[in-house]
Structure 1
Amino acid sequence: MARWEPNAPERLSKAALELFAERGYENTTVIDIAQRAGLTKSTFFRHFQDKREVLFGGGTLAGLLTGAIAAAPASATAFEAVVHAMDAVGREAFTPDRREFGALRRAVIAANPELREREALKGLALTSAMTEALRERGVPEVTACVAAELGALAMKIAHERWGAATCGDFGEAARLAFDEVQAAIAAETSSGPVAAKSSAR
């Protein structure tokens, strides 16, 4: 029977990020990560499929978002359901003790084109998951797509601010970012070509 290793995923994740930052993602092996964490290679593979999964994980974040959208009050609008989901992510995933990990993770990804591409794909997958969760609530497809896209943008802005320690609670930062995105769209719509065409009619 395999020996239980306390906090193995956290230790491996921390070791991986430290090594990625020190040596570069390409120059770090699974064995390096396991040794830095004081664990074995087999322990690493019990928790992660490969070193890339340390950065991107499984479907935890998508599950939190879709679950929270489904659990939002029945009276909630599409936008309110998305904000409800961002609050849940703040409580469960982007907690204060994860701030340093988030900042290191972002720096590692920014330094590697392959990882930036994977991060973009993950963002698209999260947006798609939110869209589908909204559609399952009965939200019309176009409205669901818009709400999910705005939510994804707000989460990106909030995550950058949260990781840089320019804000406190992630959920609060996400709600503020969501309001800012909506305000920017409203301002552009009221003064842009669409508004001008409407007033000319």
Structure 2
Amino acid sequence: MPRSGAEARRRLREAALELYRERGFDRTTAAEIAARAGVNERTFFRHFPDKREVLFDGEAELRAALTRAVVDAPAGLEPFEVLLRAFRESARGLEASRPFAEPRWRVVAETPALRERELAKHAWLTEAVVDALRRRGVGAGVADLAARTGWAAYQHAVQVWIDDPAPGLDAHLVRAFDDLRALSSTGSSPADGS
């Protein structure tokens, strides 16, 4: 039995992911996750409100980190540069947790209820980035467009990294932002192959 709350939470996340991969999300219960993790069902619900949220643990921390990174970026940077810095910082954590991130991404991609929850997460995080850009003095329309476009580039980089981890998530992220810049430049097109 795990002794700390953090250890129980970690074990619940791992157990859920194992079971979702073995049986599928729909055929797995919170009780089964708890049993696999070596805790009781009450402990599961102390940590997570439902079986979906096991895969979205850390969302509030990510939102806070992205907001802080945007707000604290050096003055004088263009919105895209601010976003690239912020996403590169958050990417380090994702890259460090690849053993969980990769199978999690695959489970979410295969499960409609989880894809819906993932889209809600993206919208919530995008709004936080918009608000952080506005706090830097970026106009509402530009902040919204930059956050949505930057988030799309981030998600593209993560997907490419899942399929091709060798260069690292940071390299894929820089490439995605470079490709966006090239797409927006007159007469330029991004290099093929990403």
Letter of the aligned partner of 1:78 in structure 2?
P
Identity %: 41
- Residue 159 of structure 2 is matched in structure 1 by 160
Greater Cα offset, 141-150 or 9-18: 141-150
- Residue 10 of structure 1 is matched in structure 2 by 10
1:34 aligns with 2:44: no
Tell me how far apart the structure 2 counterparts of residues 88 and 112 of structure 1 sit (CA, whole Å).
28
1:173 aligns with 2:172: yes
1:69 aligns with 2:70: yes
Letter of the aligned partner of 1:35 in structure 2?
A
Q: Secondary structure at the match of 1:7?
A: helix
| C-alpha displacement of 1:124 | 1.6
Letter of the aligned partner of 2:25 in structure 1?
Y
TM-score (norm 2): 0.86
Within a 5 Å distance, the mapping from 1:1-201 to structure 2 comes to 4=4, 7-57=7-57, 58-91=59-92, 93-96=93-96, 98-186=97-185, 190=187
Unaligned runs of 5+ in 2: 189-194
Name which one, 1 or 2, has greater alpha-carbon Rg. 1
Greater Cα offset, 37-46 or 75-84: 37-46
Tell me how far apart the structure 2 counterparts of residues 7 and 176 of structure 1 sit (CA, whole Å).
36
Q: Secondary structure at the match of 1:166?
A: coil
**Residue deviations 1:93-141, cap 9 Å, x none?**
3133x11211211211122212111211211221111111100110112
Tell me how far apart the structure 1 counterparts of residues 6 and 54 of structure 2 sit (CA, whole Å).
17
Q: Secondary structure at the match of 2:175?
A: helix
Name the Cα RMSD after superposition: 2.1
CA contact (8 A) 1:66 1:129 kept: yes
Tell me how far apart the structure 2 counterparts of residues 61 and 32 of structure 1 sit (CA, whole Å).
28
| C-alpha displacement of 1:3 | 5.1
Unaligned runs of 5+ in 1: 192-201
Greater Cα offset, 114-123 or 65-74: 114-123
Tell me how far apart the structure 1 counterparts of residues 113 and 42 of structure 2 sit (CA, whole Å).
26
**Residue deviations 1:60-119, cap 9 Å, x none?**
22111111101101222211110111121023x3133x1121121121112221211121
- Residue 191 of structure 2 is matched in structure 1 by none
TM-score (norm 1): 0.83
Q: Alignment length, in residue pairs?
A: 186
CA contact (8 A) 1:11 1:37 kept: yes
